[in-house]
């Protein structure tokens, strides 16, 4: 059953197929090799060709599926533009591949810089900074030793090389795609400078991972910015975007199903993290590492496939309380941070 206030007008398309969700807008899915097993991509009619929104991973399977989509539902018309909502690999993975076929890349400056930097930064082993960050989060010593000897996930594993050059979009800007004028509104927390696009004509909203039903996007702190506060960024973004939300809008999210009921969903996304923080405050009556906060935050068993995302999200919530002046942190002899609520 859909949560109260959310309505899902479409069933998901099969792989290699497309569903028309608005005039001139096709919804497609590409597979992901993880628990969240798909990413949504969209094609918007744009003159004689298409503007693609997000791309999926760069893999042989994804490229083959795109070739079938281009020849089938997209009717052989060229992809002239690729709009990327944010820099994560499942969204920007094939942007460079499309650029190599003549498409223009449209995204935010931060998304392009992050992706361009990461795709050029191929690491055979975790960096010292990453190992220190994992140690600070309280990663189990045996797991830390194991991961120190393994090749980590690199952007180059799932993202095609990005040529120089892109077209920037930014907060307050406007993008014309086909017959629609989209206002650009930026979110943060899940990814820096994440673009959402809001049609002036018909209430169509391209939400990426900023506006997703039924799951909350990961909010993580990483070794690249160890003092970040993505929880604060996320809460601010949700409250600001809520000013533009109405019940009639059709939201095209990066995962799960297109939906109506954005005002309700934004309240849920805010309440979800306030609830997690309230549980964490109780849990931190005793000093704990970030990894020791999994039970309070997630209320489920965290397996090997979820461990990395759980670690960075637990760290983010502990650090948010610290930034807010509600918790302290002290360094343990083994390098792990211990977080505790103030009396």
* Residue range 226-284, pLDDT digits in tens: 999 999 999 999 999 999 999 999 999 999 999 999 999 999 999 999 999 999 999 99
Mean pLDDT of all residues in 288-295: 97
8 Å CB contact between 194 and 111: yes
Task: Give kind and range of the element (H or E) at residue 197.
Answer: strand 194-199
Task: Measure the CA–CA gap between 59 and 340, rounded to whole angstroms.
Answer: 44
**pTM listed for this prediction:** 0.96
Query: If we measure between CA atoms, which residue out of 80, 43, 38, 88 comes closest to residue 61?
Result: 38
Task: Measure the CA–CA gap between 319 and 333, rounded to whole angstroms.
Answer: 19
Mean pLDDT of all residues in 181-196: 98
Task: Measure the CA–CA gap between 298 and 316, rounded to whole angstroms.
Answer: 13
Per-residue pLDDT of 77-105, as tens digits, reads 999 999 999 999 999 999 999 999 999 99
Task: Measure the CA–CA gap between 96 and 83, rounded to whole angstroms.
Answer: 12
Task: Measure the CA–CA gap between 45 and 21, rounded to whole angstroms.
Answer: 12
Query: Would the pLDDT of 13 be above 70?
Result: yes
Which residue(s) pair with 184 in the sheet? 197
How many CB atoms neighbour CB 149 within 10 A? Answer: 8
- Furthest-apart CA atoms within the chain: distance in Å: 65
**Domains of the chain (ranges plus CATH)?**
19-137+155-282 (3.60.15.10)
With the C-alpha atoms ordered 138, 144, 145, 146, is the resulting torsion angle positive or negative? positive
Mean pLDDT of all residues in 130-157: 96
Q: Which residue has the higher pLDDT, 35 or 110?
A: 110
Mean pLDDT of all residues in 202-210: 97
pLDDT at 305: 84
């Amino acid at each position: 059953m859909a949560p109260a206030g959310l309505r899902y007008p479409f069933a998901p398309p099969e792989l290699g197929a497309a569903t028309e969700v608005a005039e001139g807008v096709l919804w497609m899915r590409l597979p992901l090799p993880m628990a969240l097993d798909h990413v949504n991509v969209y094609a918007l009619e744009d003159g004689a060709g298409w503007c693609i929104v997000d791309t999926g991973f760069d893999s042989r399977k994804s490229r083959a599926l795109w070739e079938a989509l281009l020849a089938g539902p997209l009717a052989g018309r060229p992809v002239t533009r690729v709009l990327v909502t944010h820099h994560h690999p499942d969204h920007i993975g094939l942007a460079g591949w499309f650029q190599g076929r003549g498409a223009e890349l449209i995204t935010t400056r931060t998304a392009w810089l992050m992706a361009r930097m990461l795709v050029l930064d191929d690491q055979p082993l975790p960096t010292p900074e990453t190992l220190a960050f994992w140690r600070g989060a309280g990663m189990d010593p045996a797991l830390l030793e194991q991961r120190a000897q393994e090749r980590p996930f690199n952007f180059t594993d799932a993202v095609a090389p990005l040529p120089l050059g892109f077209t920037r979009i930014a907060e307050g800007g406007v993008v014309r795609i086909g017959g629609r004028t989209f206002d650009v509104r930026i979110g943060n927390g899940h990814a820096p400078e994440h673009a959402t696009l809001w049609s002036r004509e018909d209430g169509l909203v391209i939400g990426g991972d900023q506006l997703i039903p039924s799951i909350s996007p990961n909010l993580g702190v990483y070794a690249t910015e160890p003092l970040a506060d993505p929880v604060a960024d996320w809460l601010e973004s949700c409250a600001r975007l809520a000013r533009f939300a109405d019940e009639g809008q059709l939201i095209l999210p990066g995962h799960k199903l297109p939906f109506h009921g954005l005002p309700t969903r934004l309240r849920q996304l805010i309440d979800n993290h306030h609830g997690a923080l309230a549980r964490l405050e109780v849990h931190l009556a005793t000093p704990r590492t970030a990894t020791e906060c999994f039970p309070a935050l997630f209320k489920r068993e965290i397996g090997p496939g979820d461990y990395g995302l759980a670690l960075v999200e637990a760290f983010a919530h502990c650090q948010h309380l610290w930034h807010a002046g509600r918790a302290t942190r002290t360094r343990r002899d083994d390098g792990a941070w211990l977080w505790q609520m103030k009396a």
